Structure 1
C-alpha cells in the first residue's frame, strides 16, 4: 500500500534500479551518510536458510566510490570485502552493478519479464553500522513501467505499483526481505487477524488463484493456532512470493515472507476439484516455509543468534529446525483438512523409504549431517547417499518417533514440546539442552537415551513398534529393481548409472557412477536393455549374468549376481537389538490397523 509518511533520513541508503533487462543487470547506489575512516564494506558469501558458501560477490562489477566530486580509492581486501580511503566529514557513495542470472530463490534474477533479488546478493554490508537504520529505494525505469513490486519491507513512500522507499531497522532485516518485481498476479487474505498477500509470477491462464488463496489461508490459520491458540502471530503482515516455471521446486524462509518456486503445472487449475499430486506437494512446501516463520527464523539455533555473513555458520541442530518442520508441514495439511489420512500416510511412507534407501544413515548421524550441510548436503555428488543422511528426512522421522513415543507414554505430545520451547526460549535462540529439559519436564522422564541413539547415533529408528502403537501397520515390501541392485539411474536408450549404493549387488559387480549399462548376457545370449526392468525380463529365473557396460570408451563385461526378490529386514529386531542396514535397502508400506488410534494421532 502507498504511504504518505515523510521519509526519515537513514544512516545507510540503497537505490536499486533494474538498469539493463537484456544484460540482467541491477545498478545499485549505496550512500553511507557518516562513513568511518577507511570504511569497510562487504557482500555476504551465503544467505541464511541455505547452508552453502555461494560467493555472491562473483556477480558484482564496476564498483566505484565517491565523496562529492572526488573519487575515493577502493582496496579489495579479499574475495568479498573492500576498504574505502575516505574522510569522515562527507557522505560516501558507492556505485556498482550486479548480474542477476539465477532463477533460484537464493540469489537474484532480472530479465524483460521479471525481477527478483535477495539483499544478500545486492546490498553491500557497511561494517560497524549494521545496527543502524537502512532504507531501500526501488526505482522504476521506462522498461519496467508496467511492473509492480512486492516485498516484506515496510513502505515509507511507495507508489500504487510498489516502487519507492522502504525501511529496515538494521542490515539483518533488510537482507531478510526479498523483493519481487514484474507483472504478477496478487491475492490477499486474513489469517489469525494478520494480513497476508500472495503474488504469483509465470502462471498459466488455467491458474485457479481463488483456490490457492483459500487453501493457503487454511494452512496459515492452522499454523497460527498450533503455536498460539487464539493468540497473535509474531508478525504484522506476511507475503508469499511464488515463481511458476516450466520445471522447478524449492523455497526459502524469511521473517515475514517466503520465496517459492514450483512447476507451472503444479498450480491449481480452474474447473478441477481434486488436488493433483503436484499441487499437494506445493501445499506441503507452503506449509513448510510458513512453519519456518516460527521454527528457525525466531526459535533458532543458539549459534545463529547473530549471523556471520563472511563464512560458514555451523550448528548440529538442522535435524530439529529442518527435520521437525518437515514433520509438521504435511501433518498441518492433514489438520487443515487439505489431505486425508490415506494421503498423509502415503507421504510418511515416501519419507521412510527415502531414509531406508540411503546407506549413509549407517555412516553418519543426523547431528553430524547437520554440521556438514555446508560440504555435503548442499554439494551432493555420486557418493552422497553412501556417506550422509538427509537432516530433512531423517530429522522428520526423529520428530515422528518422539511424537509417537510421547503420545504412547504420557498425555503430552510433540506439539506441546514445540510450544513449551517457544515459551522457554522466548521465541529466540535455543540449544539442544533446552529440548532435553522440555522433554523431561513434559514426559516425566529423560529422553537422553533416545536422542543419543536417534540423533547422535546410527541405530535404526523404532518405526514399526511406535507406528503399531498408534494404529498403523508397517510392512516390508519387495523393493523395486533399482533398490534391489543398489543403483540410482537414468533410463533412456540405455541405463545411465548415477549412483552406486554401498554394499549392493551393483557395487559388488564393479559398476561405478558414469557407467552406461548397455545390455546383459544370459546363458550365452546377449540382450540390449534400455531400462532396469529389462534385466528381469531377459534374466528370467537366472540369478547370475554378465552386465555389458561402457566406461570411458571401453566395453566391460561384469559378473553380476542378482539379489533375492523378497523384502529385506532393516526394521526387524533381534534379541540383541536392531540388525544392521542390509545390502538391499528396504521398501515399506503403511496401512491403517486401528482407525480410532490413527485419528487420535493425526487430528
Structure 2
C-alpha cells in the first residue's frame, strides 16, 4: 500500500492510497478503531469527511460503508485502486492535541500518527508500505522509519502505524548515543515556548544516563536507533505514547508568574522534570509492551476491543521503572525520586484506595471507562496501583534475597522468554516467572495485590520499612511519605 499526504489548508490532511494486485469481486478497506497504547475505542473514522475509490483507469467504483469504519468496494474487474479521502486533524494548543492525535498546518508543521488516518486493505497488513509527504524541501522529518527523500518506508502496515512523525522547518534535534544505540531528542516548539534555561548538554547527559541504565537492565536494546518526538505546547500538558523505536511526548509548562507587563514566566524546572519522567517511562515501553507484549495483543486487532488482564504489567511496571531508572542512573536524587513516588502514592490511596475492582478487573475495563474518573470507588488505575504493587514485589524480592534478586530478574526473564522471541505472555506466564524468581508460589501477593481489592497501606508499609520509608495520613487524610 502506497500513501501520499498533502495539506493545503489548516487541519485538513488529504490522503491518497494506492493498492495494486487486486483480485476478486469486492475489497474491504478498514480504518483502525483504536490505537495501541490507549486501550479504548477512539473511532478515527469520524474525522473522515469524503471518501472515493477509483480503478487503474481513474473510473469511480461503487463503495459503501459496512461498519462504522469499514468500506466495501465493488471492484468491477479493477486490478488496482486509488482511494482518495481526507482527514480533519485536531487543533493545536486547545488540549486536543495529544501524543496520539494528529495536527497539520501547511505553513507551520505537521504532526501525524498514521494510525489515525491510514486505511488498510483487508488481509494485506503484512505487505510493505510507503508514505510520501508533500512538504517543502527545506522541512526536516522526525520519524523512526527509514526514508528516501520525503517518502517513509515501512516493512508492513504494523510498522507504518507504529511510526508517528513530525515535519517542520523549526525542528530541533539533540543527538546522543547510549550503549551503541543512536538516539535523537526531537523538539517542536522550542523556539516558541521553551525558556532559554533549557540546556542541550544537560539533556544529553541526563538522557544518556537513564537510557544506559535501562539498556543495562535488559542487556540489549531491541532497535538500532530511538527517537523522542517532543512537542511543546504553550499550555500545561503531559502525555506520552510508546512506539517500537520512538515515542511522542506532548508537554506544556505550568505558568509561575505574570509580571507588570503581562509577560508569563514558565516553570522551566518543572517542565524539564516532566520531560525526564515521561521520556524514561516511554523508553521502558520499548521492551515492556512493544516487545514484551500480552498474548491478547499479538497481533493487534485494529477493528475492535482487545481485552486483556495484564495492563498492571504493561503500564504499572513501566510507571514504576520510569522514575526508578531516573533515580538509579543518578538523574534524580533521593529527594526528587521520593517526590515522584509520593505523587503516585497520593493518586492511588487518596482517590482509589478503597475501589471495588481489582487490577485485573480494571485492566479489562480499560475498554469501558479506563481513562476517565468514572463513578467513585469503582476502579483503580493500572498505572498508579500497578506501580505500587510493582514496588511491593521489588521490595519483597530484595528483602528476601538480601538484594541479590529483584523485579529486574522478573523483567529479564520476561524479555528472554517472551519479548526477544516476540511470542506474547499470559497472566499465568507472568505469575509463573514471579514464582520462579521468588522460589515460592506468591499466592499471597497475587490474591492481595493483583486480583484482590483489599487496602494496601499495611502490607506496603511492612515492605517500605526495608528501605526506611513509611506512609501515613495527615489530619486531612492526605498521604504523607516519610
TM-score clears 0.5: yes
Compute the displacement of 1:353 (Å).
1.9
Q: Secondary structure of 1:54's match?
A: coil
Instruction: Tell me the equivalent position of 2:408.
Output: 415
Instruction: Tell me the equivalent position of 2:162.
Output: 176
Compute the displacement of 1:276 (Å).
2.4
Residue-by-residue CA offset, 1:234-255 (whole Å, 9 max, x unaligned):
1011111111012211000000
**Change in 2 beyond 3 A, CA 1:138/1:275:** closer
Structural RMSD (CA): 1.8
CA distance in 1, matches of 2:32, 2:292: 23
Q: 1:262 aligns with which of 240, 251, 273?
A: 251
CA distance in 2, matches of 1:281, 1:69: 50
* Aligned: 1:403 with 2:405: no
CA distance in 2, matches of 1:153, 1:40: 27
Instruction: Tell me the equivalent position of 2:88.
Output: 99
Q: Secondary structure of 1:293's match?
A: coil
Q: 2:153 aligns with which of 164, 167, 186?
A: 167
Compute the displacement of 1:13 (Å).
0.7
Kept in 2, the 8 Å contact 1:223–1:332? The answer is yes
Kept in 2, the 8 Å contact 1:320–1:395? The answer is yes
* Aligned: 1:442 with 2:437: yes
CA distance in 2, matches of 1:463, 1:121: 41
Instruction: Tell me the equivalent position of 2:44.
Output: 56
* Aligned: 1:587 with 2:478: yes
Q: Which moved more, 1:37-46 or 1:79-88?
A: 79-88
Kept in 2, the 8 Å contact 1:34–1:88? The answer is no
Q: Secondary structure of 1:252's match?
A: strand
Residue-by-residue CA offset, 1:157-211 (whole Å, 9 max, x unaligned):
21xxxxx222211111110000111121112111110111111111235143332
Q: 1:226 aligns with which of 217, 227, 230?
A: 217
CA distance in 2, matches of 1:588, 1:275: 27
Question: After TM superposition, where is structure 1 displaced by more than 6 Å over at least 4 residues in a row?
Answer: none
Q: Where do residues 295-444 of structure 1 align in structure 2 (5 Å cutoff)?
A: 295-359=288-352, 361-381=354-374, 383=375, 385-410=376-401, 411-427=404-420, 428=422, 429-444=424-439
Q: 2:201 aligns with which of 210, 217, 220?
A: 210
Kept in 2, the 8 Å contact 1:360–1:388? The answer is no
Q: Where do residues 560-575 of structure 1 align in structure 2 (5 Å cutoff)?
A: none
**Change in 2 beyond 3 A, CA 1:275/1:416:** farther
* Aligned: 1:189 with 2:176: yes
Q: Secondary structure of 1:387's match?
A: coil
Instruction: Tell me the equivalent position of 2:277.
Output: 284
Is the radius of gyration larger for structure 1 or structure 2?
1
Q: Where do residues 436-585 of structure 1 align in structure 2 (5 Å cutoff)?
A: 436-461=431-456, 462-479=459-476
CA distance in 2, matches of 1:475, 1:386: 20
Kept in 2, the 8 Å contact 1:200–1:244? The answer is yes
Kept in 1, the 8 Å contact 2:353–2:455? The answer is no
Compute the displacement of 1:96 (Å).
0.9
Higher relative contact order (CA 8 A, sep 6+): 2
Compute the displacement of 1:477 (Å).
2.2
Q: 1:66 aligns with which of 31, 35, 54?
A: 54
CA distance in 1, matches of 2:378, 2:362: 9
Kept in 2, the 8 Å contact 1:14–1:30? The answer is yes
Q: Secondary structure of 1:295's match?
A: coil
Kept in 1, the 8 Å contact 2:315–2:383? The answer is yes
Relative to the length of structure 2, the TM-score reads 0.90
Q: Which moved more, 1:104-113 or 1:303-312?
A: 104-113
Instruction: Tell me the equivalent position of 1:484.
Output: none
Relative to the length of structure 1, the TM-score reads 0.72
Compute the displacement of 1:448 (Å).
2.1
Residue-by-residue CA offset, 1:73-112 (whole Å, 9 max, x unaligned):
1111121011111155532111111111151111211124
Kept in 2, the 8 Å contact 1:361–1:388? The answer is no
Kept in 2, the 8 Å contact 1:43–1:57? The answer is yes
Residue-by-residue CA offset, 1:473-525 (whole Å, 9 max, x unaligned):
3333222xxxxxxxxxxxxxxxxxxxxxxxxxxxxxxxxxxxxxxxxxxxxxx
Residue-by-residue CA offset, 1:399-439 (whole Å, 9 max, x unaligned):
01101111111231111111011112243311121222122
CA distance in 1, matches of 2:207, 2:76: 52
Compute the displacement of 1:265 (Å).
6.0
CA distance in 2, matches of 1:354, 1:75: 47
* Aligned: 1:236 with 2:207: no
Q: 2:15 aligns with which of 28, 42, 67?
A: 28
**Change in 2 beyond 3 A, CA 1:413/1:200:** same
Instruction: Tell me the equivalent position of 1:79.
Output: 68
Q: Unaligned regions of 5+ residues in structure 1, if any?
A: 1-11, 159-163, 267-273, 480-585, 592-603
Kept in 1, the 8 Å contact 2:357–2:379? The answer is yes
Instruction: Tell me the equivalent position of 1:120.
Output: 115
Residue-by-residue CA offset, 1:122-175 (whole Å, 9 max, x unaligned):
2101111111111111222xxx454321111121x21xxxxx222211111110
Instruction: Tell me the equivalent position of 1:147.
Output: 139
CA distance in 2, matches of 1:88, 1:400: 60
Q: Secondary structure of 1:61's match?
A: strand
Q: Secondary structure of 1:77's match?
A: strand
**Change in 2 beyond 3 A, CA 1:279/1:128:** same
Kept in 2, the 8 Å contact 1:136–1:167? The answer is yes
Kept in 2, the 8 Å contact 1:25–1:98? The answer is yes
Instruction: Tell me the equivalent position of 1:581.
Output: none
State how many pairs are aligned.
Answer: 451
CA distance in 2, matches of 1:291, 1:303: 20
Q: Unaligned regions of 5+ residues in structure 2, if any?
A: 91-95, 256-266
Kept in 1, the 8 Å contact 2:253–2:268? The answer is no
Instruction: Tell me the equivalent position of 1:575.
Output: none
Q: Secondary structure of 1:407's match?
A: helix
